[in-house]
Structure 1
Amino acid sequence: MISPALPAEADGPSSDGPVRTCIGCRGRAPRRDLLRTVVGTDEDGRVAVLPDPRGVAAGRGAHLHPTTACYDLAVRRKAFPRALRRAAGAPLESAPVRQYLDRVTTDTDRPTGAGRLTRNWSSSS
C-alpha cells in the first residue's frame, strides 16, 4: 500500500535553527532573533526578570523580540511570570529588561518582518 505524500509543514524545521515564540506578540521567530530572559536578582536583591542576550544563563528562559512594543505587550499580558513559571502572586520585577532594551535599541533601529531589528549603519567613518 502506498501512503499519500504528506504536505510540507509551515512550522517545520528550517535552516534558521531553533524556532521560539515571543511572549509579547506570540510570533514565532528563529532563536537568534529573540532576546532570552531568565529569573534572577536585580541590584537591590529583588527577584527580577533579567536579559540574557548570550542565551547561556542557567534556568528556564522566555524569549522576546528585542523591541519595546513586544516588551510592553508581555508586561500587559503578565506573560513573564507565566512563561517563567513563577507563582501568580509573587512579585517579579521586569524593569531590568526594559532598561536593557532602552540601551540597545535606538530610534535608528527599526523592526522588520517578524520583529527583527535592522541597524541603520552609516558607511561614513
Structure 2
Amino acid sequence: MTTSDRAIRTCVGCRQRRPQRELFRCVIDADGHARVSRTAPGRGGWICGVDCLDAARKTRGFERAWRVRSAADVDDRLRDELNRANEQGGDRRRRCETDDDERVH
C-alpha cells in the first residue's frame, strides 16, 4: 500500500473525506487562474467533481483552502478543467452522499 492509497483528503464542497486518489486537486497558478493539477506547486483544495463546485462556492471552500480573499474566476474555468480531467481519468463516478441529497459524481 502506497502513501497515496492511505492519504485522506476532504472535499471543499461536500466536506466528505475520501482517499486522495478519488479526488481532484485544484490550485491557483502563477497567473492567478484556478486549474486542476496534482503536481502544481502551492496550496491545493480537493474536490470530488463538478457537482461539488456549487457547494464549494457557497461555503467559500476554495477561499479557505487557498487562503485567498476571493476566488471569483473559479466556477467556469474550474468546471471546464474538472470536466476535462474527469474524461481523461476514466470512470471516476461515485456516490457523494450528503445530508440533503445524493449526487453521482
Q: TM-score, normalised by structure 1?
A: 0.61
Which of 1 and 2 has greater Rg? 1
**Structure 2 segments unaligned to the other structure (5+ residues):** 98-103
Match 1:81 to one of 63, 67, 89: 63
SS at match of 2:6: coil
Runs of 4+ in 1 over 6 A off after TM superposition: none
Q: State yes or no: 1:50 paired with 2:39.
A: no
Please give the alpha-carbon distance, in whole angstroms, between the structure 2 residues aligned to 1:104 and 1:58: 18
Give the aligned length: 93
Q: TM-score, normalised by structure 2?
A: 0.70
Superposition RMSD in Å? 2.9
User: Relative to 1, partners in 2 of residues 1:28 and 1:85: Cα closer, same or farther, differing over 3 Å?
Assistant: same
Where does residue 111 of structure 1 map in the other structure? 93
**Structure 1 segments unaligned to the other structure (5+ residues):** 1-14, 118-125
Greater helix content: 2
Match 1:20 to one of 9, 12, 27: 9
Q: Percent identity?
A: 33
Please give the alpha-carbon distance, in whole angstroms, between the structure 1 residues aligned to 2:92 and 2:45: 23
Please give the alpha-carbon distance, in whole angstroms, between the structure 1 residues aligned to 2:15 and 2:8: 12
